[in-house]
Every structure is written in C-alpha cells, then in structure tokens.
Structure 1
C-alpha cells in the first residue's frame, strides 16, 4: 500500500479521531484520551496544523505544527510526531517533519522548536539529520489541574 504525502487535516471525522487516538497511545502511555471535540478544536484553530500521512485512506502517521507570534518574531513548535508501528522505517516520519517545516516556512516562521525523549533514538537522529540542533536550555513544565489556583 503506497503512503501519501502528508496533508493537513481540514475536517474532523470520527475515523480520523480514532486513528489519532490510536497513534497517540503508541507515542505516550500517559497521553490523555483523544476525543472528537479535541480534533474539532484543533482543526478550527488557525494556529494549529495537523499533518497526516495516510495509507489506503487511513491515517498512519501524524505531527502537529503550532505557529505563534511572540515579541521576538514568528515561532513554531512541532509536536506529536508519530508513525504507526507497521509503517515505521519507510521515511514517513521524515516526510511529516519536512512537511511541517515547509508549512512553517510558508507562514514566515523564523525558528522551530521541538522536544523528544532521549529514548526515542531514531526520532532524535532524524531531527538532527534535518538540521535541528540540541539547545543548551532547561525545559520546565507546570501541570495545572482543574482545581489549581493560578499563583
């Protein structure tokens, strides 16, 4: 089955929601459940592009590109790069990331960031091969619960 070049998801279908939920489960065991309303919100958000690689019409890989403006310019973040196990090793991850880079460039993005767990060795090699450089930085995260007060 021939894979298609990654294209943006423009309509939130239940089939795509199920496929993305399955892919996210492969990416992270701690990922929250992915629902139809999540895909609808992402598709409707002009800052977000979900790129999907398909085989036989079914999504077999995705990545998310988020573009935003800050005081120092237009930036982007690539997240959730994942390819279904049976389709790995065929260059789909690279096609997804290249498509995200191309989309970002067309939107005037000056810098693209992404993060990847060290255990994802193949992904880290891919990002370096595509020109991403490891930054000398600390990444911080604050997890807010629904009941947490903002400091």
Structure 2
C-alpha cells in the first residue's frame, strides 16, 4: 500500500486547490469549482477545518469537521467525506473519520453527527463499524436558491 498521511489543512497551496477540485465531482453531481480564495476562507474559519488524506503525497481524500456550541452542549459534525475512487477500499475513509473524531474530542464536543445517503453502502458500513449509531430522525434542508419571491 502507498504511504498514507492524514493532515489538517493549515494553508492553501496550488496542489490543494487542484486536489479539492478533483475530489468534489466524486462527492456531488453538481460540484462548484473552488477558488484559492474559497479555500482560504474555509481554512481560516474558526469553526471548521479540512482534514486531508495523502497517498504518496497526492491528495487521496478529505472531509470537513465543523463544530459549534449549543444550549445542550458542544457539538461537532463531519461533512463532505470523499475518497478518490482510485484509492477506495484502502482504509483511508476510516483514517480520516478517526482523525476527525480525535479533533472533536480535543475540542470538547459531546457528540459528532454526520449524514450519509443510503446508497453509499460502504460508507454506511464504515460509520456503523466505527461506532456511529443511526438516529431515528427526519433530515430537512432549506435551500435559499430554491425559494422564490
């Protein structure tokens, strides 16, 4: 197996911009191309971070960890988990999620939430194996761009 490195992104580089924009179409069917400035805003955020996986120095996967304080206690969430299709099945997703859980624990989060489409069967198996519990809840999304007038 290639050498795997997990890192918290602290600076934007041309390689990061290229790598993120290569991964996003593997995550969503309507990816937005992120600019240097877009990534700088994410990296500078005080409430989120990007965790990047590299195989032989090449970006191979990533996720975003976000956190906030609520009246019921500090919480964290994992979003935008994607592994390059060339590197799937090598434990990279697990390494990324475990790294995010370690960060969330150090931040004092009481819980870490994530969502995953049912069709992402391997990802759902991974989350259950790590210890995530499926919740009995409805998930809703409000889209500002879909609301007229």
TM-score, scaled relative to structure 1: 0.92
Unaligned runs of 5+ in 1: none
For the residue of structure 1 that corresponds to 2:138, the secondary structure is coil
Unaligned runs of 5+ in 2: none
Offset of residue 147 of structure 1: 8.3
Residues 8-87 of structure 1: matches in 2 within 5 Å? 8-87=8-87
Offset of residue 110 of structure 1: 0.4
* Cα distance in 2 for residues equivalent to 1:114 and 1:54: 22
**Deviation per CA, 1:82-141, whole angstroms, max 9, x where unpaired?**
111111111000000000000000110101110001110000000000111111111111
The 8 Å contact of residues 7 and 52 in structure 2, kept in 1 or not, is answered as yes
Offset of residue 14 of structure 1: 2.0
2:141 is matched with 141
Offset of residue 35 of structure 1: 2.0
* Cα distance in 1 for residues equivalent to 2:111 and 2:5: 24
Offset of residue 32 of structure 1: 2.2
The count of corresponding residues between Structure 1 and Structure 2 is: 149
Q: CA, structure 1 residues 46+148, in 2 after alignment: closer, same or farther (shift >3 Å)?
A: farther
